Amino acid sequence: MKTFFSILITLAMSTLLISCESDDTKTDSSKPKARGSIGEIILVIDSAKWAGPVGDQLKDIFESDIPGMLRSEAKFKVNTVDPRAMTRMLRMSTNLIYVTTFDDRGSASQAINAQFSKESKEKAMNDPSMYSLRMEDEYAIGQEVLYLFGNTEAQLIENLKKNGNRIQNLFEVRERGRLEKVLLARKNSAAAVEARNNLGIEINVPASYQIAKSDDDFLWVRQPTPSANRADISLFFYETDYTSEEQTFPENILKLKDSITKQHIFGDPEDPTSYVVSEKQIPPVFRNMVINDNFTTEIRGAWKTNNTSMGGSYLGYIMVDQKKGKLYYMEGFVFYPNEVHRDALREIETILLNTNVNWKDNQGT
């Protein structure tokens, strides 16, 4: 085992998170399938280290609050495990992270350190920027294993601060990919046709969603079977002309969003005062990005009905297609009183990021 680790550390360690190359022809079919819910991480670490500065930095990475929420909710569900208490079942976890420092003489950290060879520790000692090793399918198929290490706590903390966003993004992208395989195994073809014909975009919506309303420039689909174990999730898509960069300013995004929902979405269709509005007491959070060469702004916040009978969280994207001169707003919102919204928001994110507003361009029209 030590020789194996020495070779891997020598080849794979660097200042960045490193993806091990996969070779399907060498997949060990005798390994079990990895187990774990979406967004769950098993963190193997000495309890004293978790309670100290290293743990604080890890909490900033994995347990920081989802922005724009009505109440505090962590980005991931983290379960910490003492290295000496690892079982075969825990080793099959989908997301597994080992954390240690080589100067820690405690028996818990030493249980992790024993997996590293003398040569690999010396290599890390000579290059303080080395802090991580990423391995796939180490104990189970479909598994992500990440080793985070340092010669000292101060060194590890420094590297975690520098690379926290990379580490967080690694697991966010991975979990969206896992969820996408489940959600989009079966798609709602009728909703896709409506989106193509009325908005000129390609959407991928799970078959479990149904069309609630469809107009020339608007489409609303909804998960129709909310329950105690399932959030009420709605998605809507809107298209209009792009005339000015000012349309993408935060205050104008909110105005557009509220004008759409006031016209189309009601908590109670029989009550015209129950239209959906943005919750003003909790400022929404905006983030700019580029998706498929389109300028995009992400918005996260809270919503309520105008008559305050309902409320929840939402995630939206405003996207500009300058070639077509179009602006698109798409949003998913959650109604799930007194329950965690994290999983529902990750579902919304996965679906919306699979939307292609360049669909007509790609079809050669």
Residue 11 pLDDT greater than 90, yes or no: no
Q: Which residues contact 193 (CB under 8 A, 6 or more apart)?
A: none
Residue with tokens 């979405």: 265
Q: Give the span between the Cα atoms of 361 and 364, in whole angstroms.
A: 5
CB 152 within 8 A of CB 54: no
Mean pLDDT of 288-303: 93
pLDDT score of 25? 38
Structure confidence at residue 360 as a pLDDT band (50, 70, 90): low
- What amino acid is encoded at 9 in this protein? I
Q: Give the span between the Cα atoms of 338 and 335, in whole angstroms.
A: 10
Q: Across the strands, what pairs with 95?
A: 144
- Strand duo 218-222 + 232-241: pairing: antiparallel
pLDDT score of 363? 54
pLDDT score of 229? 82
Average of per-residue pLDDT values in the chain: 89
Which of the residue ranges 167-171, 221-225, 254-258, 277-281 would you say has the lowest mean pLDDT?
221-225
Residue 23 pLDDT greater than 70, yes or no: no
Q: Across the strands, what pairs with 52?
A: none
User: Could you give the maximum distance between any two Cα atoms of the chain, in Å?
Assistant: 72
Residue 13 pLDDT greater than 70, yes or no: no
- Listed residue (145, 146, 143) closest to 131, CA to CA: 146
Q: Give the span between the Cα atoms of 300 and 314, in whole angstroms.
A: 6
* Sign of the CA dihedral with 241 first, then 327, 288, and 360 last: negative
Mean pLDDT of 9-27: 39
Structure confidence at residue 231 as a pLDDT band (50, 70, 90): very high
**CA 216, chain centre distance (Å):** 31
Mean pLDDT of 294-316: 94
Structure confidence at residue 119 as a pLDDT band (50, 70, 90): confident
pTM across the whole model: 0.87
What pLDDT digit, counting tens, does each position of 134-187 carry? 999 999 999 999 999 999 999 999 999 999 999 999 999 999 999 999 999 999
3-state secondary structure the chain: CHHHHHHHHHHHCECCCCCCCCCHHHCCCCCCECECCCCEEEEECCHHHHCCHHHHHHHHHHCCECCCCCCCCECCEEEEECHHHCCHHHHCECEEEEEEECCCCCHHHHHHHCCCCHHHHHHHHHCCCCCEEEEECCCCECCEEEEEEECCHHHHHHHHHHHHHHHHHHHHHHHHHHHHHHHCCCECHHHHHHHHHHHCCECCCECCCEEEEEECCEEEEECCCCECCECEEEEEEEEEECCCHHHHCHHHHHHHHHHHHHHHCECCCCCCCCEEEECCCCCCEEEEEEECCEEEEEEEEEEEECCCCCEEEEEEEEEEECCCCEEEEEEEEEECCCCCCHHHHHHHHHHHCCCECCHHHHCCC
Structure confidence at residue 362 as a pLDDT band (50, 70, 90): low
- What amino acid is encoded at 252 in this protein? N
Q: Which residues contact 264 (CB under 8 A, 6 or more apart)?
A: 213, 215, 218, 220, 236
- Listed residue (306, 300, 307, 360) closest to 331, CA to CA: 300
Domains in the chain (CATH in brackets) are 2-183 (no CATH), 189-362 (3.40.1000.10)
Mean pLDDT of 335-364: 86
Query: Which two structure tokens, joined as six digits, stand for 221?
Result: 């689909």
CB 147 within 8 A of CB 98: yes
pLDDT score of 123? 87
Residue with tokens 């969603």: 209
Sheet with 144-150: strands ordered across: 77-81, 40-44, 95-101, 144-150, 132-136
Percent of the chain having pLDDT more than 70? 90
Residue 208 pLDDT greater than 80, yes or no: yes
Residue with tokens 């000015």: 244
Mean pLDDT of 112-139: 90
Residue 281 pLDDT greater than 90, yes or no: no
What pLDDT digit, counting tens, does each position of 31-88 carry? 999 999 999 999 999 999 999 999 999 999 999 999 999 889 999 999 999 999 999 9
pLDDT score of 27? 52
